[in-house]
Amino acid sequence: MTDNPARKIVILGALSAMAVQSARRFAAEGASFTLVARDTALLEREAQDLGARGAARVDIVAADLTDTADADGLLRQAAGKMGGLDTVLLFYGVLGDQARAETDADHAGTIIAVNYSSAAHWVLAAARILEQMDAPAGRVLLTASSVAGDRGRRSNYVYGSAKAGLSVLMQGLAHKWAAMPNAPRAVNLRLGFVDTPMTADVEKTAKPLWATPERIALIVERCVKRPGPPTVYAPWFWRWVMVLIRLMPSPVFNKVNL
């Protein structure tokens, strides 16, 4: 499937496994990129790879995304270099340790700051700029959230609460844009288990429920190119898994070790 003209994409958290696989799909169509992450050497290597795969232009920005003081400035600069901006993908996050977060306030603060506070700043900055852009390919803001935000569970409720906040923010933005003519689209992925370095220490007992970064990249590509719902469970079956979990009565839910 082709997308004409080629997209101009900012990726926040560009070195995550899902971001890397998603970028490769758009690179093959001649997209331009601004990659944002902390590690300069890895960003340079990723830029070279995307160039070899067909990317029209790849700029890199080494930055700690929890520093949001100049979020608008970074995005505007990226748009200036690429000659526009039509797609912002937000992939970064940290799983954290729930047990530690219950006794270590700094650790809990880091989980919340990375997964919600900073992400919210970048979402709002991207929204301001995308609303001002004239993009024939259609403007899209896509975030990677989690099914952990659908219902608080004892195993990860600090992480889940931050992702819930991000999901509600994106729902609200999608609601706002739905009432505006020629507005961008907001898409929030609610991810289930994905086999990435972030989940390397998680025991993978239910392997059929685990997705690869490549499978998620296919979903990202489809969501960017095709108008669809603002909330997308990835893979699809998590929608129905979470329906069951949300509807489970508390007396039953409390007996389940999740």
Q: Using CA atoms, how far apart are residues 51 and 258, in angstroms rounded to an integer?
A: 43
**Residue 140 to residues 86, 102, 163: CA-CA distances in angstroms?**
6, 36, 20
Retrieve residue 29's tokens: 């169509």
- Whether residue 84 contacts residue 8, with contact meaning beta carbons closer than 8 Å, is answered with yes
Catalytic annotation present for 159: yes
Residue of 92, 116, 159, 233 marked active site = 159
In the beta sheet, which residues pair with residue 51? none
Q: Using CA atoms, how far apart are residues 190 and 173, in angstroms rounded to an integer?
A: 16
**H helix count then E strand count, the chain:** 10, 7
Catalytic residues: 159
